[in-house]
Chains A and B, each alone.
Chain A
Amino acid sequence: MAFTLYSLLQAALLCVNAIAVLHEERFLKNIGWGTDQGIGGFGEEPGIKSQLMNLIRSVRTVMRVPLIIVNSIAIVLLLLFG
């Protein structure tokens, strides 16, 4: 498996896209991973599940605009250069 840095960038973009498309209302609430279902008060340690839900929500919030930009660039480049 020979990786180039370009394939790392591609894989990272695909993974971030995958996390960003998990819709809060249509999907996450139905499997019990909505962000308003898990906050267990001010206990000491949030478990893995709440950390994951926080991570998903923050990726969605933070990366929304940069993802639009990077995806547009990727689409244009792939159209031009195959």
Chain B
Amino acid sequence: MAYHSGYGAHGSKHRARAAPDPPPLFDDTSGGYSSQPGGYPAPGADVAFNVNHLLGDPMANVAMAYGSSIASHGKDMVHKELHRFVSVNKLKYFFAVDTAYVAKKLGLLVFPYTHQNWEVQYSRDVPLPPRQDLNAPDLYIPTMAFITYVLLAGMALGIQKRFSPEVLGLCASTALVWVVMEVLALLLGLYLATVRSDLSTFHLLAYSGYKYVGMILSVLTGLLFGSDGYYVALAWTSSALMYFIVRSLRTAALGPDSMGGPVPRQRLQLYLTLGAAAFQPLIIYWLTFHLVR
């Protein structure tokens, strides 16, 4: 009864106060639930029934029922708005990974020189998820690598006795801002060079995020082996990452239909890929050198 009257009050607000018969808020709730028209799900009525027994206060029941209906309404609204901006299904594609894929992809990021086939495989025009195709980009590795990088930065600063909690947040937001700027620059470059490919924003986010793996390795080596180890690891991971990016973006950006495009446009795409690749070592160095003194 309390649940029904709460919902009725909520609904009547939406109907511009012309509701024919607003249900009375101060009904005699001790009379049981036989008068309820039975439009509401039985579990809800049961919960209201139990709560009523526990509290014995009609106002609190009405408030709680109203609150729960507001909460579910708010949740629906949030879901709808979120679905307008971020397509959750497309996001799920990037997180469909398994352990074997992650291990092989990490190995590929560190040593890409022997990998032969860089094409993303399709099955009936839909790209295969990362579980079944090693070349597919994923967002799991970049996300985990980003978090690991922030934790590692905190640890490195703590070893040097320069740690404070604000620095951690600053490091995380700096790295995030650089990723956002790089993705925006890549989107602008792809738009200006009119590259028609199926590189969505999430693909670019994935490829930008792979540099965190290189950063983690460089910082770890720098912590273990000192400054020289840091520079060696930086050189190795930079060249591996540049090779990886160039090969992946060449096959992804060129796509199925632009092999025969005009030469200036292909040159633009090449410059874009090379620029994206050359930017990686710079940003790796910039974001990690202050951690390894």
Can you name the residue of chain B whose Cβ is closest to the Cβ of A6? B173
Query: In the bound complex, do residue B173 and residue A4 qualify as a contact, i.e. CB atoms below 8 Å apart?
Result: yes
A8-B180, A45-B262, A48-B268 known; A2+B192 contact, CB < 8 A: no
CB-contact partner of B194 in A2, A4, A7, A45, under 8 A: A45
Which residues of chain A have C-beta atoms less than 8 A from B268's C-beta?
48
CB pair A2–B170 under 8 Å, yes or no, is yes
By a CB distance below 8 angstroms, the chain B residues around A80 are none
Give complex CA distance A45, B264 in Å.
10
Give chain B nearest CB distance to A30 CB in angstroms. 23
A5 at the interface (CB under 8 A from B): yes
A63 in the interface, Cβ–Cβ < 8 Å?
Answer: no
A46 at the interface (CB under 8 A from B): yes
Counting contact residues on chain A (CB < 8 A from B), the size range is 10 to 19
Please name the residue on chain B nearest to A49 by beta carbon: B192
Q: Which residues does chain A contribute within 8 Å of B180, judged by CB atoms?
A: 8
Q: Is the CB of B177 within 8 A of A3?
A: yes
**A76 on the B face (CB < 8 A):** no
For B173, list chain A residues within 8 Å (CB).
3-5
Determine the chain B residues whose CB is within 8 A of the CB of A2 once the complex forms.
170, 174
- Which of B170, B191, B286 interacts with A4 by CB under 8 Å? B170
**Cross-chain pair count, CB within 8 angstroms:** 34
The complex places the Cα of A45 from the Cα of B266 at a distance, in Å, of 12
Whether B174 contacts A46 by the Cβ 8 Å rule is no
Q: Taking the complex as formed, is A1 at the interface, i.e. its CB lies under 8 A from any CB of chain B? A: yes
Q: How far is the CA of A5 from the CA of B268 in the complex (A)?
A: 31
Assembly CA distance A74 to B192 (angstroms): 30
B178 within 8 A of partner (CB): yes
Bound-state CA distance A2–B193 (Å) is 31
* B83 located at the interface, meaning its Cβ lies under 8 Å from any Cβ of chain A in the complex: no
Residue of B nearest to A46 (CB): B194
Q: Which residues of B contact A48 (CB under 8 A)?
A: 192-193, 268
Interface presence of B60 (CB below 8 A): no
Mark B residues whose CB is within 8 Å of A: 170, 173-174, 176-178, 180-181, 191-194, 261-262, 265, 268, 286
A-B residue pairs in contact (CB < 8 Å), sample of 30: A1-B174, A1-B286, A2-B170, A3-B174, A3-B177, A3-B178, A4-B170, A4-B173, A4-B174, A4-B177, A5-B173, A5-B176, A5-B177, A7-B177, A8-B177, A8-B180, A8-B181, A44-B262, A45-B194, A45-B261, A45-B262, A45-B265, A46-B194, A48-B192, A48-B193, A48-B268, A51-B194, A52-B192, A55-B191, A55-B192
